Amino acid sequence: MCNLKQRNTITNASGRLLDLVLSDVRCEVNEDLSAIVNIDAHHPALLIDITAKSASIDNFPQVSEDLSAIVNIDAHHPALLIDITAKSASIDNFPHKNVKHYNFRKCDFLSLYNSLLEVDWGVLDH
């Protein structure tokens, strides 16, 4: 969707990919060995280098701590606010028309679960 691609390949000490870096522009994601906080092997610091054409971005992106985050914040996982001002011409390529929206709150989960129970999953063993 929106031509976004996962750009992060940095895994933690357990071989798990923790952070999504989704972008539709070229960017490089590396482990930041010069982080300003102690680095935890299970939560590696990331350095994200975004290369953008100067014609599409008016101002350099501003990154700050988001103090109005909607989730609980702790000292090891701060919420970040990234402010990027782009010209409106780039909005024309954003696929905002004919997008399906699913309302999962209206789902009849009991019927869904019962239907899944009735499926003969044995064919997957072959």
Q: For the purposes of burial, counting CB atoms within 10 Å of the CB of 30, is it exposed (0-12), middle (13-18) or buried (19 or more)?
A: middle
pLDDT of residue 109: 87
Token pair belonging to 89: 């011409």
Residue 115 lies in a domain: no
Residue ranges making up the domain that contains 68: 5-98
Residue 60's pLDDT is what? 62
Residue 112: inside a domain: no
Q: What pLDDT, on the 0 to 100 scale, is given for residue 74? A: 73
Residue 62 falls inside a structural domain? yes
Determine, yes or no, domain membership for 71. Answer: yes
User: What was the pLDDT predicted at 51?
Assistant: 65
State the pLDDT at residue 94.
54
Q: What integer pLDDT is reported at residue 61 of this predicted model? A: 66
Q: What pLDDT does residue 125 have?
A: 75
- CA dihedral (28, 30, 36, 40) positive or negative: positive
What domain count does the chain have?
Answer: 1
Does residue 109 lie within any of the structural domains?
Answer: no
Q: pLDDT per position in the chain (126 positions), as tens? A: 577 888 899 998 999 988 888 887 788 898 888 877 788 888 888 888 876 555 454 556 677 777 776 667 777 777 777 766 655 445 555 555 566 677 888 888 899 889 889 988 887 776
